């Protein structure tokens, strides 16, 4: 019994709350944020928490409303500003053509017959500031142009591009989903970025291999001279042809990469110098510049004054405001997840479940992985899946003393699982590539995401043994 509450009663409240959350998201018109708040209240009421805030003998304020407000506020206090900066950065990046410049750069670096790698790693970087849906729409014309020139399968090129985009969108801050998970777990963003990048590379490589070795053979559809999607004839790949894509009015390669690379480098420097206890003198300034809020803010300013130098004041402000419109719902869902996690923590349910899991000797890393995977399959949104998994598992993980960074990564990996009809990105990828048959759509994207998920799961489990 914690704070006068029975663990079994709170566990019943959690079970009912999760079922209710799934029902509301799937079957009603209730938005995910409101569903999370309602779920939090239901768990607290069934669990026996006081409706109104009371003060305990030790001075702690306790109650359903207290948990909701403190959980919501504490989560957004750490990552809300970064989300706002990040979406504005992405809007400028999208508007200026920097994504296309990065694609041209990677095509040149990887060379002929490596177009899948070039597109995948373009998506890999582009999706750090840009939402993967927008990134795919922006970059898919490049995949079509490559298919037209080289006679390579548009579908394999598109799968490689889509995979690169979705992996960093799911795994690497300052993309809002993983950033929200960092906030809920309270982990160091720099350490999380470093590990997420390391885990993301094998996931991307496997997706490239699947696209080239399987998709290219099963769905060998190319863009012909009339810009029509047709089935290729055997031996039609023209690997010797150079790819010429228009690069007029695009920012320079340096200008395109700088707003993304600079914040990541600053954040990682902060993590490394702090870990090495190099906190005096000039290092003190570098650590300040590497705070995620400051680093992403510097990236945004860099984008405004370098990428946006040819844009009018009116256009660049309109672009940033457009990006800010998408930030609202992300912040609300993340804050709602924080409220759900806080009530699990305040009620003592996190400690109660942690003790039960420890007694059963079940690997703790499976908890966030399974919750995120199931939530993803049921309702389709990767952001809702990882946020819900983090909200439920964070208080339990922290109570067991397990590594919270690995558990946060597990939440992100689980949300990659089997994208299908209830996921908007599934339709963006398939419709843009012209894939209309359900069987082909599943081969193109559902299996791709499941392979990515499987590799990620293996990596997270290995990492849990290394960083236990």
Residue of 332, 413, 419, 425 lying closest to 130 (CA atoms): 425
At 306-335, the pLDDT tens digits run: 999 888 999 999 989 988 887 888 888 888
Is 436 part of a structural domain of the chain? yes
Q: How many domains does the chain have?
A: 1
Tell me, what's the pLDDT at 463? 96
d(CA 289, CA 297): 10
Q: First vs last Cα of the chain: how many Å apart?
A: 29
CA 151 to the chain's CA centroid: 33
* Tokens, residue 301: 């300013």
d(CA 113, CA 122): 16
Residues 6+ apart with CB under 8 A from 140: 158, 161, 432, 433
Is 300 part of a structural domain of the chain? yes
| pLDDT exceeds 70 at position 57 | no
* Mean pLDDT across 21-35: 87
Is 379 part of a structural domain of the chain? yes
- In terms of phi and psi (left: phi > 0; alpha: psi -120 to 50; beta: otherwise), the region of 361 is left
CA 358 to the chain's CA centroid: 29
Residue of 304, 273, 303 lying closest to 288 (CA atoms): 273
Is 1 part of a structural domain of the chain? no
DSSP H helices, 111-214, are: 115-126, 132-150, 154-171, 176-185, 189-210
At 77-116, the pLDDT tens digits run: 878 899 899 889 988 988 888 888 898 899 889 988 899 9
* Tokens, residue 347: 């009620």
pTM for this entry:
0.87
Residue of 370, 377, 395 lying closest to 460 (CA atoms): 370
Is 448 part of a structural domain of the chain? yes
CA distances from 184 to 43, 273, 302, 341, 411 (A): 18, 24, 29, 8, 11
| pLDDT exceeds 80 at position 7 | no
* Tokens, residue 3: 């704070």
d(CA 468, CA 460): 11
CA distances from 194 to 138, 171, 256, 268, 405 (A): 27, 11, 21, 7, 11
CA 228 to the chain's CA centroid: 33
| pLDDT exceeds 80 at position 245 | no
The domain of 382 spans: 7-466
Tell me, what's the pLDDT at 235? 56
Is 2 part of a structural domain of the chain? no
Tell me, what's the pLDDT at 345? 82
Q: Taking every pair of C-alpha atoms in the chain, what is the biggest distance, in angstroms?
A: 79
Is 26 part of a structural domain of the chain? yes
At 146-179, the pLDDT tens digits run: 998 888 999 999 999 999 999 999 999 988 899 9
Is 220 part of a structural domain of the chain? yes
Residue of 134, 100, 106 lying closest to 249 (CA atoms): 100
| pLDDT exceeds 60 at position 71 | yes
């Amino acid at each position: 019994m914690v704070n006068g509450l029975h663990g079994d009663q709170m566990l019943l409240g959690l079970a009912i709350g999760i079922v209710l959350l799934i029902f509301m998201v799937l079957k009603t018109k209730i938005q995910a944020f409101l569903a999370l708040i309602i779920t939090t209240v239901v768990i607290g009421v069934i669990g026996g928490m006081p409706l109104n805030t009371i003060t305990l003998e030790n001075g702690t304020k306790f109650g359903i409303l207290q948990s909701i407000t403190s959980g919501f506020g504490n989560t957004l206090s750490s990552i809300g500003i970064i989300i706002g900066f990040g979406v504005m950065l992405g809007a400028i990046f999208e508007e200026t053509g920097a994504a296309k410049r990065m694609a041209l750069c990677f095509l040149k670096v990887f060379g002929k017959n490596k177009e899948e790698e070039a597109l995948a790693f373009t998506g890999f970087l582009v999706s750090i500031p840009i939402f993967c849906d927008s990134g795919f729409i922006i970059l898919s014309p490049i995949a079509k142009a490559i298919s037209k020139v080289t006679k390579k399968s548009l579908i394999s090129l598109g799968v490689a591009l889509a995979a690169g985009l979705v992996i960093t969108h799911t795994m690497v801050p300052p993309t809002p989903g993983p950033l929200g998970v960092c906030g809920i777990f309270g982990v160091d963003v720099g350490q999380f970025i470093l590990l997420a990048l390391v885990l993301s590379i094998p996931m991307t490589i496997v997706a490239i291999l699947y696209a080239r070795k399987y998709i290219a053979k099963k769905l060998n559809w190319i863009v012909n001279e009339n810009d029509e999607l047709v089935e290729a004839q055997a031996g039609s790949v023209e690997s010797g042809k150079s790819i010429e894509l228009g690069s007029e009015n695009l920012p320079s390669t340096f200008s395109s990469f700088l707003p993304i690379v600079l914040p990541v480098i600053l954040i990682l420097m902060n993590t490394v110098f702090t870990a090495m206890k190099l906190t005096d003198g000039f290092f003190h300034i570098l650590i300040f510049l590497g705070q995620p809020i400051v680093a992403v803010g510097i990236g945004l300013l860099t984008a405004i004054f370098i990428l946006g130098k040819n844009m009018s004041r009116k256009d660049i402000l309109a672009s940033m405001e457009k990006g800010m419109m998408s930030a609202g719902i992300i912040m609300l869902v993340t804050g709602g997840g924080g409220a759900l996690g806080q009530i699990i923590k305040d009620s003592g349910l996190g400690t109660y479940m942690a003790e039960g899991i420890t007694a059963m000797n079940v690997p703790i890393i499976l908890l966030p992985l399974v919750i995120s995977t199931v939530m993803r399959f049921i309702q389709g949104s990767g952001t809702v899946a990882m946020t819900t998994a983090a909200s439920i598992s964070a208080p339990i993980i922290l109570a067991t003393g397990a590594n919270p960074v690995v558990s946060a990564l597990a939440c992100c990996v689980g949300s990659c699982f089997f994208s299908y009809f209830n996921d908007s990105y599934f339709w963006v990828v398939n419709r843009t590539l012209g894939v209309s048959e359900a069987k082909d759509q599943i081969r193109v994207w559902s299996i791709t995401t499941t392979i990515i998920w499987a590799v990620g799961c293996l990596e997270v489990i290995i990492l849990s043994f290394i960083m236990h």
